[in-house]
Structure 1
Amino acid sequence: MTTNTENPKQDTVLVTSGTGKTGRRVVERLTALGVPVRAGSRRGGVPFDWEDESGWGAALRGADAAYVTYYPDLAAPGAAEAMEAFGRIAAESGVRRMVLLSGRGEPQAVVAEEALRGAARGVDLTVVRSAFFTQNFSEGALVDGVLGGELVFPAGATAEPFVDADDLADVVVAALTGEGRGEELHELTGPRLLTFDEVAAEISAVTGHEVRYVPVSGDQYAAALAEYGMPEAEAGFLAELFTMLLDGHNAVTTDGVKRVLGRDPKDFGAFAREAAEDGAWQV
């Protein structure tokens, strides 16, 4: 983190999911800046498990800041209670600053945000509400669909302003290091709206093999997730969440990335070209 002559000590940051899609990127950026980082993980690194509150105090002890990413989503049942407990323990442990990853357009996630804010007394909290990540197509749940030529998802013809996870990580690091302070909420999107049909077309263009979008209902998607081994309750929750998020109310872009970083967010086309060049979709 940035230093000054009065206090040259660099803050230690806990990243609750140091191997996750955004957590890994935040860890890499903080490490490159020389910031001491604790990468939380259920396996390896600093032990951290959202299902085991008993280990949170040890992970937070001595940390000055934290990047908080809750699994599976802040709108999930039990998330508000977990945020309240985490905020209390963080404040008791001496944490001074937190950045929370949240979902854009999720009313229940706002309840969890406020639970954390209310419990973490004396802690500066920045909430980052994000659109769908572009990386969901290259290293997330949808990559198998791209490789198989069919994107199956309950999105219909709704457009989404997909945001690049690298842009989000840059915003998070700015908030953690103090460069992005002054605002308690950032709403992040990419620069344009795309339907899943258009996403499939753009990926097809850069990979040279056809990818098509196959719309399904929320119930059909939940059944497909369960077939892949996801617990039925979690599959149902995620399908319901995606259906709600893609009902059109999020189909608008924001200037959140530019306001924090002073540059435009990465376009989906640029992401797709880079992912293809890096071999993300080699069949």
Structure 2
Amino acid sequence: MRNQRILVTGGTGMTGRRVSHQLAERGVDVRVGSRSGTPPFEWHDPAAWDAVLDGVDGVYLCFHPDLAFPGAAEAVSAFAARAAEHGVTRMALLSGRGEDGAERAEEAVRAVFADLTVLRCSMFAQNFSEHILVDGVRAGTVALPVPDVPEPFVDLADVAEIAVRALTEDGHAGRLYELTGPSALTFAEACALMGEAAGHPVAYLPVTPADFVAEAGRAGIPPEVATGLTELFAEILDGRNAKPTDGVRQALGRPAGDFAGYVARAAAEGAWS
């Protein structure tokens, strides 16, 4: 019997690189699915899918920029169907909590791959240290086009561990895990914790969608992506996702990592230096 091989789409991104690292630590043969991978992978290039799926046993599905964006459900479900044709036996889908578009994508993928494991996540804590919000934390102001609502930020270390278990262990097929941190904080409360760890004040500032898109453009984010993000934030950050869940405990048998622990690690690693 040959060694297990798992394809990690978005393998160089925030979740993908964590999943890839943990899989490699388990001795799994990891194939990174990215434009720079070997063979290269692109969601919107079906002609390249067969090569990247050759010899693969499991797939981590991470659609960029988000499952809520137009065309995502069609792309991921078509890819999942192709994966099933190639004999893939395990599949984990990164999804979003409270996103109607993401739930449509979940349904579309499950229709062609019944044993799908869904990781439905709240907002990532690491958005403050690795993504669009890191510059704001460093500058002292985190600006988003949403009110100061509570959010149970989830630690990507937990998300990656659950994905790895779903792709390498029995007992997760067909499951849906709704993943959050153990408690909800408002953005102002989260900023206060990060400011204390970073050694300078960090404030939260609600802004208009237009101001957010303009600032994102100055950071190099394409306007269509920034506009899509404002629509996504308005959908998921309206208070609907404020209640924490026990999804991490269901999947891992332990409590979810809290935001304070994430902040301490991020600061120690120099994220906001």
TM-score of the aligned structures, taking structure 2 as reference length: 0.95
Any idea what the Cα deviations from partners look like across 1:17-71, whole Å, max 9, x if unmatched? 1111111111111111111110111124441111222111111111010000001
> Contact 1:171 / 1:180 at 8 angstroms: preserved in 2?
no
The equivalent of 1:95 in structure 2 is 88
Residue in structure 1 matched with residue 50 of structure 2 by the alignment: 57
Unaligned runs of 5+ in 2: none
Match of 1:69 among 20, 42, 62: 62
- The 5 A counterparts of 1:141-160 are 141-160=132-151
Contact 1:174 1:180 in 2 (8 A): no
Distance 1:228 1:149 in 2: 16
1:199 matched residue in structure 2? 190
Aligned length in residues: 273
CA distance in 2, matches of 1:42, 1:163: 27
**Mapped partners of 2:54, 2:145: distance in 1:** 42
Change (3 A) 1:218 1:180: farther
Distance across 1 between alignment mates of 2:69 and 2:120: 15
Letter of the 2:148 partner, please give it: A
Shift of 1:224: 2.3
Question: CA contact under 8 A between 1:70 and 1:79: conserved in structure 2?
Answer: yes
Q: Which residue of 2 aligns with 1:21?
A: 14
What residue is the counterpart of 2:32 in the other structure? 39
C-alpha contact 2:116 2:173 (8 A) present in aligned 1: no
**Distance (Å, rounded) in 1 between the aligned partners of 2:266 and 2:86:** 40
Q: Give identity over the alignment, percent.
A: 50
Offset of residue 180 of structure 1:
4.5
Aligned equivalent of 2:127, options 131, 136, 144: 136
1:218 and 1:243 in contact (8 A); partners too: no
State the Cα distance separating 1:80 from its structure 2 match. 1.4
Once the two structures are TM-superposed, the CA of residue 164 in structure 1 deviates from its matched residue by 0.4
The 10-residue stretch of structure 1 (36-45 or 18-27) with the greater mean CA deviation from structure 2: 36-45
Shift of 1:240: 0.7
Q: Determine the C-alpha separation between the residues in 1 that align with 2:138 and 2:99.
A: 30
Q: CA RMSD of the aligned region, Å?
A: 1.5
One-letter amino acid of the structure 1 residue matched with residue 267 of structure 2: A
| Aligned-partner Cα distance in 1 for 2:220–2:173 | 43
CA contact 2:151–2:241 (8 Å) conserved in 1:
yes
Write the letter of the residue equivalent to 2:144: F
Aligned twin of 1:109: 102
Given the alignment, which residue of 142, 154, 165 partners 1:163?
Answer: 154
**Matched residues in 2 for 1:228 and 1:134: separation?**
20
Per the normalisation by structure 1, the TM-score is 0.92
